[in-house]
Amino acid sequence: MIEILPPSKIPLARKSGALVAEILQTVRERATVGTNLLEIDEWTKDIILGAGATSCYVDYAPSFGRGPFGHYICTSVNDAVLHGLPHDYALADGDLLTLDLAVILGGVAADSAISFVVGEPRKEDTAMIDATERALAAGIAAARPGNKIGDISHAIGTVLREAGYPINMQFGGHGIGSTMHQDPHVSNSGRPGRGYGLRPGLMLALEPWIMEDTDELVTDDDGWTLRSTTGCRTAHSEHTVVITDDGAEIMTLRSS
């Protein structure tokens, strides 16, 4: 299903996006060496429920996961890149942490992800995170009426490839609206001028993610967490945007 938001729902999308951005920023500020991933999940739960919002993850049970996710945020550490299931792990100095979060507020979903290093960063990690953020910015710049999904994918893939990173095509961005995952799929590489035409009201979650030296994934024994097959580090950046007459408006923009 491809959903086009009516103008009356755009303010609701801004509110759900602002909540996601607030939670990610709050957790980033609070997460330090020694913070447990289960603490992060509890912080997230408290803010979501306190805001009167609904988690997109707790009851989420897609074909690629093992049963309901059962937690409020994805916490992927180091070689984990997607769908990281929170568990009893205390963050160590230098850990590269990715947080991925989606909520529904006022009947509209928003989805965003950030990667950052807890403690002292390695320059390789900083470069990887920067590449995903630049790719995300390029994808957003291409998300304007008259363009196609392939234009977004091409813009993202060009940045990642020029930075020297392999690109996995199994998971990517997606449509979003009254539910978290909708069509169209937005690959992190593609041919310009191809695919669904962009028009005002279309809301997309764009999410470039990379692994340092491979494009192959392996699933953890928990049935959810996806890791690099080589054990290399990973990074992931994501924003929810709405196509407008003038381009793309970012719903999940953080203040810092």
**pLDDT tens sequence across 7-48:** 999 999 999 999 999 999 999 999 999 999 999 999 999 999
The CATH number for 111's domain is 3.90.230.10
What residues make up the domain containing 24? 7-250
Tokens representing 11 are 């303010």
Inside any domain, residue 80: yes
Number of domains into which the chain is organized: 1
Inside any domain, residue 1: no
Note if the pTM is more than 0.95: yes
Tokens representing 216 are 């192959």
**pLDDT tens sequence across 111-145:** 999 999 999 999 999 999 999 999 999 999 999 99
Nearest residue to 55 via CA among 110, 114, 113, 18: 110
**In angstroms, rounded to a whole number, what is the distance separating the alpha carbons of residues 85 and 8?**
35
Inside any domain, residue 255: no
Inside any domain, residue 256: no
